[in-house]
């Protein structure tokens, strides 16, 4: 899952980016409003974390411009402004959630996960596909009774496919949602990681859980 952090206070921006990356997200970050708007428009993010007081364009301005342009990305406002009027204004302008600084990093993660579940129309904190079960909060994967140990990248890829189970997911989509803007990885990295995942997930002699749709991408079949 790919996130954008727009926050002008450097220590906060950097620690958020670090913590979120460690939690398995691809994170782009910027301290400038106009740059943030440009990022948000040129990439497909799952969640944008938006500070309100920013140089360039302020947070509410970015929110307005994105929503006017029909952007449906989930936006979580992070701000020191805590009055009811401020919250109402932010939510009414189209923000999905509002978190007042200072906040617990755990809570921020939980809210981001909640927004992600909403993005993929699910309220269940775990996803089950056949006998594979993903625990989204704990980022653990089990097949049957066996816990499968995945790297951060592998888990992120499986989670993304599972969130969109039943759909055909293109390589570009995967690349856009899992890799940061500054990442130098090319899109055939996706194929490599699909290979790793299959190796760890699939049982010998049975058809793979992840199906290749020739010329289009991959799909994880829905259903039990």
Partner 1 sequence: MKNSLKNRLLAGIVTATILLLATFSLTIYLSIRAALISQFDASLASVARVLAGSVEIDGNEIELEFELDKMSEFRDAARPAFYQLWAADGSVAARSELLGSNDLPLLKSETGVVVYGQFRTGDNIPLRVAGLVFAPRPADGEEGRGASAARTMLSLTVGRDCRGLLGQLRFLRRLLVAACGAVTILSVAIAAAVVRRGLGPLNAIAREIAAINQENLGARIGAAAPAEILPVKDRLNDLLAGLEDVFNRERRFTADVAHELRTPLAGLRSTMEVALSRRRDEDEYKAALVDSLAIVVGMNEMVNSLLMLARLDAGRVRLGAEQVRPAEVINSLWSALAEKATERGITFENQIPEDVTCRSDAEHLAIVLRNLLENAAEYTNQAGRIEVAARQAGDFVELVLSNTGCELSAEEASQVFDSFWRADQSRSEAVAHCGVGLALVKRITAALNAEITATVTQEKTFRITLRLPRAAE
Give me the residues that bind partner 1 (CB under 8 A), please: 8-9, 11-12, 14-16, 18-19, 22, 32-33, 53-58, 61, 78, 80-83, 100-106
Pairing of strands 47-51, 74-79: parallel
- Residue (9 or 120) nearer to partner 1, CB: 9
Looking up tokens 């398995």 gives 24
CA geometry: angle at 207 spanning 202 and 209, to 5°? 55
Least gap, CB of 36 to partner 1 (angstroms): 12
DSSP letters spanning 134-203: EETTTTEEEETTEEE---HHHHHHHHHHHHTTTSEE-HHHHHHHHS-TT----THHHHHHHHHHHHHHPP
- Residue (41 or 152) nearer to partner 1, CB: 152
- Residue (33 or 217) nearer to partner 1, CB: 33
- The secondary structure of residue 31, as a DSSP letter, is S
Rounded CA separation 224/126 (Å): 13
Least gap, CB of 65 to partner 1 (angstroms): 13
- Residue (19 or 94) nearer to partner 1, CB: 19
Tokens of 152: 């951060």
Sheet holding 2-6, edge to edge: 26-30, 2-6, 47-51, 74-79, 97-100
Least gap, CB of 60 to partner 1 (angstroms): 9
Least gap, CB of 134 to partner 1 (angstroms): 21
- Residue (15 or 168) nearer to partner 1, CB: 15
Rounded CA separation 62/1 (Å): 21
* CA 164 to chain CA centroid, nearest Å: 13
**150 burial level (CB within 10 Å; 0-12, 13-18, 19+):** buried
Least gap, CB of 70 to partner 1 (angstroms): 23
- Residue (59 or 217) nearer to partner 1, CB: 59
Least gap, CB of 216 to partner 1 (angstroms): 37
């Amino acid at each position: 899952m790919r996130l954008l952090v727009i926050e002008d206070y450097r220590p906060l921006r950097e620690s958020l980016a670090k913590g979120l990356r460690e939690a398995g997200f691809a994170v782009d970050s910027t301290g400038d409003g106009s740059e943030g708007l440009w990022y948000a428009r040129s990439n497909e993010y799952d969640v944008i974390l938006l500070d309100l007081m920013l140089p360039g364009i302020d947070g509410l301005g970015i929110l307005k411009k994105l929503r006017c342009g029909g952007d449906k990305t989930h936006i979580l406002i992070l701000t020191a402004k805590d009055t009811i009027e401020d919250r109402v204004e932010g939510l009414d302008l189209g923000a999905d959630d509002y978190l007042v600084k200072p906040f617990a990093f755990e809570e921020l993660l939980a809210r981001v996960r909640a927004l992600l579940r909403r993005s993929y129309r699910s309220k269940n904190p775990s996803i089950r596909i056949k006998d594979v079960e993903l625990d989204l909060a704990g980022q653990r994967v089990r097949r049957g009774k066996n816990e499968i140990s995945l790297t951060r990248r592998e888990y992120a890829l499986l989670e993304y496919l599972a969130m969109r189970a039943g759909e055909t997911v293109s390589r570009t989509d995967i690349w856009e949602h899992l890799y940061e803007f500054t990442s130098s990885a090319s899109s055939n990295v996706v194929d490599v990681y699909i290979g790793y995942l299959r190796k760890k997930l699939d049982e010998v002699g049975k058809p793979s859980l992840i199906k290749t749709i020739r010329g289009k991408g991959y799909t994880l079949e829905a259903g039990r």
